[in-house]
Structure 1
Amino acid sequence: MRITTNALALLVPILCTTAAHAETSVIHSRYAISALGLPVGVSKFETRISPGSYSMTGTLKASGLVALFKPTTGSMSVSGRFGRNGVQAERFALDYVSGGDRQTTDIGFSGGNVTSAVNKPKVKKRKGWIEVDAAHLRNTVDPISAMLVKADTPGAVCDRTVRVFDGAMRSDIKLNFLRTERFSADGYSGDVVTCRAKFLPVSGYPGGKKEIAWLRDKGRIVVAFAPIEGTDLYAPVKATVSTQLGPVRIYATRLERRME
């Protein structure tokens, strides 16, 4: 369950704008989640962008048959700052309940490095566990902040490898350019840059786990990023990830912005 939830966290991020002025931008967004063509969940987010910093709160709720057989609800909060080289996370918190089981994760960051990570219940370290060492926790971000990209040109959006820590697993997400296409949702319509994403596990997982090996060797992840008007930032609006059970699709249905 943890891998599925973290995949959703990675692929249901924020649509942001940055502030080159003294005002605060507030973005209300809604995302639909489907698996095998059937609706399985809905996420809603409020993102606040001030000069030099960002924060987001969001909720996740199961829908369709998933809600009947395995009710799932969750909440998430993220905060950080904009540095010279992009996003620097400060705190990530996730709290979700699925089928009666509750999981919470709280990660602290400073200067681009992880300073604390608490999971309740604690992560079970199975046979063949690959430990996370101190070097793995440098220059990393949480799964949500990882998807806010600073780039000078559309082509540069996909030219990067992002170091991600979700509270247990450290992974690299390698992005490569795939195509440019059109995308529309309530409040947004325009071109988006689509990247192919390669999942590369680093540590914090059992080395022989078949699901992780399949996602690394055979998994296909595609993420589309929209340019944020007046900035050099891009943020995701849709994503598809292949799993052993079939494709999971996440896409924005509402993106509305106001100024404060």
Structure 2
Amino acid sequence: MLSEAIFTSICHQNSIDCTRGNRMRPIAPVLSSLLILAFSGLSAFADEARNRTDYTIALSGLPLASAVFQAVKHSDDYEIEAQIHSTGIANVITSTKAQMRSVGTLQNGQLKPQRFFFRYRYGKRNRLFDTSFKNGNVVSSIIEPKPKESRRKNWIEIRPEHLKAVTDPIAAFISPADSDPCRAKIQVYDGEARLDLMLEAKGTDQFRTHGFSGSVIKCSLRYIPRSGYRKNHSDIEYVRKLKGIEIWFAKSAILNVYAPVFLSVPTKYGTLTMRATRFDG
């Protein structure tokens, strides 16, 4: 997904042999989801709303990508679209562009996806993920181009039960203001892999950006793969054992929801961060 392409660019910047596998590939569903979470929550919970939120992604302070999110909500339906592109040195080396779209409904204050679409281009490489949901279950999933069977040795196949009671990477982290944003487990299907995201409360802190200044709730975050990946793959094991991932949630008093404004991921190449540069608090 998007972070797969971003980290490939990081490898090139640091003269790392990416052909042996990108250790941050498994974090893709985590990063990709967090890139769009805050904006989706802000827009979808208003009666009628159109909104925009901006983010920057950096590695050890070096800008790698920026994102612009546009969303609209009509009655009980929502649609969110994002445009993400590489910046700075990353853009000079190899251009990365991505488009995301989530469509769904609101039920009891929660986002319920009906379709999750994601396309990215890294240099000459293009990938597309298109997933449909119904009542919390995956009913269809398309990947283009189709993965080569030769690259799926020791692949842990996704079983039918893995595609039930799941959400997409957009709706995963949005929660009403009267709930706990550090809820214990989020079951996610990202179009290719089935995973659990485990959260735990870490206290509070202060956060300031355009449109918001105030207290945020801090959570630790762990990645647990379930299926849709290669067994014993070193990349998967690296991220599964990774400690120190942290996510911060801010409350939008206007729209009465919690949504992420900051993500920090320690890597062997430095700390990867996602920060909201504009947030409707």
- Give the TM-score, by structure 2 length: 0.83
Q: Is the 8 A contact 1:215 1:243 kept in 2?
A: no
- Structure 2 gaps of 5+ residues are 6-24
- AA paired with 1:189? S
The residue number in structure 2 matching 1:95 is 119
Q: 1:28 to 1:18 in 2, by over 3 A?
A: closer
Q: 1:85 to 1:170 in 2, by over 3 A?
A: farther
d(CA) in 2 for partners of 1:166 and 1:236?
18
Q: Is the 8 A contact 1:82 1:88 kept in 2?
A: yes
Give the SS at the match of 1:89: strand
d(CA) in 1 for partners of 2:214 and 2:43?
18
The residue number in structure 1 matching 2:260 is 236
The residue number in structure 1 matching 2:161 is 135
Give the SS at the match of 2:172: helix
Q: Percent identity?
A: 29
1:164-187, CA deviations, whole angstroms, 9 ceiling, x for partnerless residues? 111111000011101211212212
The residue number in structure 1 matching 2:13 is none
The residue number in structure 2 matching 1:8 is 31
d(CA) in 1 for partners of 2:254 and 2:89?
42
Give the structure with the larger strand fraction: 1
- Worse-matched range after superposition: 229-238 or 35-44: 229-238
- AA paired with 1:134? P
Shift of 1:99: 1.9
1:117-174, CA deviations, whole angstroms, 9 ceiling, x for partnerless residues? 1011113452211010111111111111112123524xx2212310011111100001
Matched, 1:77 2:113: no
d(CA) in 2 for partners of 1:234 and 1:70?
35
Q: Is the 8 A contact 1:18 1:233 kept in 2?
A: no
The residue number in structure 2 matching 1:179 is 203
Q: 1:159 to 1:128 in 2, by over 3 A?
A: same
The residue number in structure 1 matching 2:88 is 64
d(CA) in 2 for partners of 1:85 and 1:26?
18
Superposition RMSD in Å: 2.1
The residue number in structure 1 matching 2:19 is none
The total of aligned residue pairs comes to 254
d(CA) in 1 for partners of 2:85 and 2:153?
33
- AA paired with 1:212? I
Give 1:164's match in structure 2, choosing from 178, 183, 188: 188
The residue number in structure 2 matching 1:24 is 48
The residue number in structure 1 matching 2:269 is 245
The residue number in structure 2 matching 1:35 is 59
d(CA) in 2 for partners of 1:42 and 1:221?
20
Runs of 4+ in 1 over 6 A off after TM superposition: 18-21
Q: Is the 8 A contact 1:18 1:51 kept in 2?
A: no
